[in-house]
Amino acid sequence: MALLQIHEPGETPLPHEDERQIAVGIDLGTTNSVVAISRDEKPEVLRDKSGGNAIVPSVVYYGEDTPVVGEAARDYINTDASRVVSSVKRLMGRGIEDVKSLAGTLPYHVEVPEKSDGDAADQMAEPMMVRLNVGDRVLTPVEVSADILRALRARAEESLEQTVEKAVITVPAYFDDGARTATKDAAKLAGIEVLRLVNEPTAAALAYGLDNGAEGLYAVYDLGGGTFDISLLKMQKGVFQVKATGGDAALGGDDFDHAIAEHLLSKRKDGGATDELDASDAKRLLKVARKVKEGLTDLDTVEVVVDLNGSETSHEVTRSDFEAMIAKLVSRTTAITEQVLDDADVMPEDVKGVVLVGGSTRVPAVRKAVADLFEQEPLSNIDPDEVVALGAALQAEALTGGSDNLLLDVTPLSLGLETMGGIVEKVIDRNTPIPVAKGQEFTTYQDGQSAMMIHVVQGEREMVDQCRSLARFVLTGIPSMAAGAARIRVQFNVDADGLLTVSAREETTGVEQEVAVKPTYGINEMDMANMLRDSMVHAREDMTLRLLTEARVEAKRNILAVHAAMEADRALLTPEDDKNIADAIAKLEATMAGDDRDAINEAAEALETASRPFAESRMDSRIRQALTGQNVDAVN
């Protein structure tokens, strides 16, 4: 092994063979999911054993045995529909209140958890996460998503013939903080380390951009099963910069299916049928509706037979019937698109290309609406069902193996705080590039006020109750002061995954409190631990292993840094220090070969002690140089 590794600042050195771990890209969709791998910037989707389908329907069947995922689960809709869960992504990070507004559009029964008496009085109690009644089980959307992720992981491991523990997972750009956290939690349950959450349209752009060497302004119109996203990206010299993004987290092809299903029901009613649908009937009817929708992509008319409650009726649905049913939904997407163009101060004709993503963009009326808006034919030479996973795989490769390309993403929604009168004070505006750190100062409004409620919200509206509540916490221990005298600084940090951490600090005394916004609708750590245990994932071993790996990485960096310093200032190195340092390095390297994390950390500390005199003489020497005016400003 070479003593010294030299690389350009910021350039990630290639990990050593033993550390090199494969990372996949996962598109965890509402209707379908796809897993892909990229090598040498050539991404490919991973297919099932027979080499056939890349798509795994995001459907899980909970029978007596282990959960069944994908096409096989979908087949149970005809025989055992009450145990089949689909479109669970629509519930990720959602609370009971949200689900009430979706009532009637969900093909399964949602459990409303009962709060214990103690909770009801407690303002700070976290609203409960949605739970689903599936057969005799009660499941959270996070658990169901984890089952889908496990199936994707298994497919990847089978296809690549090696363990896969790392992934880039895509989320709709418009996913709020709660839904992002829920997605990360699901991955954790499935034993997957999320390298990065990447926005779906951004991933799609990456797949297109690298493929076509695109430069300029591009729009990505992504209409999936349950979510709509529109993003505007500027691509230049390997940098993919998201300029603006918008969308609707509850608008997609599922809604087209519902429109058709309602149409069929009303036709049956006209014919005198009275249908009382239970959850199983609804699922079967939606399955029929989806077939109609898919048929109308190529045909002008589709004949369909509906068999409910023992009465069979046949219907004819024309493409223009269908287009009338969905016209409102489609124009909602174009209105949001215009808003995003406005946000970025861009005219439709400035857009060089439009990328279509998501199965719902196969609907001819959707394509036509997009083409009309941008006055150009959209690009679709990459399969719209696979393009997001391909982009995620490219990003996974970039994060593990290094890359010349860079994604610069933005916050999809404004983040703010509740102030007097329930008004939202925005701290971070939507479309701000991430990572971002921003603070705002507040003060007390009562003499002697000792605590302050910090209520974090997300959304564009002015009033708190019209935005999504992300977290509430209380800054306590504010010393007694006159109203307006305290200086409370609330700091918002959004990381590269788009996840928010908020801290509050009273500046005059330094009293501080911090919360990772594990939002109201996420899962708390206790639930998480229980789920990990339940699902037989060896959480403790994973954790120990991660800490050991981190200790080794840190120790290696330490050794490289000392070597570099010795190389740079060898003249300042006394023979004694040289020997001490060499001994300490040898000891550290010996412990690194073992599995004892404490021993590694101890040896690392010993190295630091051994090299301290040398470091001090380097500092002294530089200061002397500066004092004698010899210093040359280092290149910035």
Closest CA to 56 of 141, 149, 172, 159: 149
Closest CA to 387 of 109, 6, 44, 8: 44
**Can you tell me which of 3, 138, 406, 529 binds another protein, judged by CB under 8 A?**
406
Q: How far is the CB of 147 from another protein (least distance, A)?
A: 27
**Can you tell me which of 1, 11, 52, 66 binds another protein, judged by CB under 8 A?**
11
Confirm or reject binding of residue 487 to another protein (CB under 8 A): no
Confirm or reject binding of residue 9 to another protein (CB under 8 A): yes
Per-residue tokens: 432: 């701000």
169, amino acid identity = I
Q: How far is the CB of 330 from another protein (least distance, A)?
A: 13
Instruction: Spot the catalytic one: 147, 176, 185, 222.
Output: 222
578-617 residues near another protein, rule: CB under 8 A: 608, 611-612, 615
Q: Name the CA radius of gyration of the chain, rounded.
A: 28
Confirm or reject binding of residue 413 to another protein (CB under 8 A): no
Phi and psi angles of residue 184, each rounded to the nearest 5 degrees, phi first: -65, -40
| Residues 345-366 as b or e (16 or more Cβ within 10 Å = b) | ebeeeebebbbbbbbbbbbebb
Of the pair 138, 553, the CB lying nearest another protein is at 553
Q: How far is the CB of 564 from another protein (least distance, A)?
A: 4
527: annotated active-site residue: no
Confirm or reject binding of residue 12 to another protein (CB under 8 A): yes
**Can you tell me which of 111, 294, 425, 542 binds another protein, judged by CB under 8 A?**
425
End-to-end CA distance of the chain: give it in Å, rounded: 31
434-463 residues near another protein, rule: CB under 8 A: 434-438
Instruction: Spot the catalytic one: 27, 177, 418, 497.
Output: 27
152-191 residues near another protein, rule: CB under 8 A: none
Kindly give, in sequence order, each residue whose CB lies less than 8 Å from that of residue 277, ignoring residues fewer than 6 positions away.
265, 285, 308
Confirm or reject binding of residue 633 to another protein (CB under 8 A): yes
Pairing of strands 216-223, 353-357: parallel
27: annotated active-site residue: yes
Q: How far is the CB of 211 from another protein (least distance, A)?
A: 20
Q: How far is the CB of 399 from another protein (least distance, A)?
A: 4
**Can you tell me which of 111, 323, 338, 383 binds another protein, judged by CB under 8 A?**
338
Of the pair 332, 367, the CB lying nearest another protein is at 332
Of the pair 5, 266, the CB lying nearest another protein is at 5
Q: What residue spans of 228-363 are helical by DSSP H?
A: 253-270, 279-295, 319-343
Confirm or reject binding of residue 570 to another protein (CB under 8 A): no
**Is-contact 344 232, C-beta < 8 A?**
yes
237: annotated active-site residue: no
233-252 residues near another protein, rule: CB under 8 A: 236-239, 241
Size of the site for another protein (CB under 8 A): 64
Looking at residue 224, the DSSP 8-state letter turns out to be -
Confirm or reject binding of residue 466 to another protein (CB under 8 A): no
Q: How far is the CB of 552 from another protein (least distance, A)?
A: 10
Of the pair 593, 619, the CB lying nearest another protein is at 619
Q: How far apart are CA 636 and CA 71, in angstroms?
A: 56
**DSSP codes joined into one string, 27-82:** EE-SSEEEEEEEETTEEEEPP-TTS----EESEEE--SSS-EESHHHHHTHHHHGG
Per-residue tokens: 615: 């470091």
Per-residue tokens: 200: 């779906």
Closest CA to 242 of 501, 498, 500: 498
Confirm or reject binding of residue 10 to another protein (CB under 8 A): yes
383, amino acid identity = D
> Which parts of 459-612 are beta strand (E)?
468-475, 488-494, 500-506, 511-516
**Can you tell me which of 216, 557, 582, 596 binds another protein, judged by CB under 8 A?**
557
Instruction: Spot the catalytic one: 98, 185, 200, 418.
Output: 200
222: annotated active-site residue: yes
Closest CA to 406 of 175, 196, 174: 196
**Can you tell me which of 112, 327, 482, 561 binds another protein, judged by CB under 8 A?**
561
Q: How far apart are CA 41 and CA 210, in angstroms?
A: 8
Per-residue tokens: 524: 């708390």
Looking at residue 480, the DSSP 8-state letter turns out to be P
Of the pair 399, 515, the CB lying nearest another protein is at 399
Confirm or reject binding of residue 349 to another protein (CB under 8 A): no
Confirm or reject binding of residue 309 to another protein (CB under 8 A): no
Q: How far is the CB of 299 from another protein (least distance, A)?
A: 32
**DSSP codes joined into one string, 80-145:** HGGGEEE-GGGGTT-BHHHHHHTTTS-SS-EE-PPPPHHHHH-TTPPPPBPEEEETTEEE-HHHHH
Among the residue ranges 84-92, 152-160, 223-231, 398-406, the one whose residues contact another protein (CB under 8 A) = 398-406
**DSSP codes joined into one string, 265-276:** HHHHHHTT----
Among the residue ranges 209-217, 291-299, 393-401, 455-463, the one whose residues contact another protein (CB under 8 A) = 393-401
Kindly give, in sequence order, each residue whose CB lies less than 8 Å from that of residue 6, ignoring residues fewer than 6 positions away.
none
Q: How far apart are CA 29 and CA 161, in angstroms?
A: 25
Q: Count Cα neighbours of 55 within 13 Å in the Cβ-side half-sphere.
A: 16
Confirm or reject binding of residue 558 to another protein (CB under 8 A): yes
70-109 residues near another protein, rule: CB under 8 A: none
Confirm or reject binding of residue 634 to another protein (CB under 8 A): yes
Contact pattern for another protein over residues 501 through 530, marking x by CB under 8 A: ------------------------------
Q: Is 266 exposed, middle or buried (0-12, 13-18, 19+ CB in 10 A)?
A: exposed
Kindly give, in sequence order, each residue whose CB lies less than 8 Å from that of residue 472, ignoring residues fewer than 6 positions away.
123, 124, 453, 454, 455, 456, 520
Among the residue ranges 103-111, 246-254, 296-304, 554-562, the one whose residues contact another protein (CB under 8 A) = 554-562
Q: How far is the CB of 496 from another protein (least distance, A)?
A: 4
Closest CA to 72 of 83, 87, 56: 56
**Can you tell me which of 138, 463, 483, 568 binds another protein, judged by CB under 8 A?**
568
Q: How far is the CB of 86 from another protein (least distance, A)?
A: 32
Name the residues that contact another protein, by CB under 8 A.
Answer: 7, 9-12, 15, 19, 195-196, 236-239, 241, 331, 335, 338-339, 342, 345, 395, 398-400, 406-408, 425, 432-438, 493, 495-496, 550, 553-554, 557-558, 560-562, 564-565, 568-569, 608, 611-612, 615, 618-619, 622-623, 626, 631, 633-636
Q: Looking at the annotation, which residues are catalytic?
A: 27, 89, 200, 222
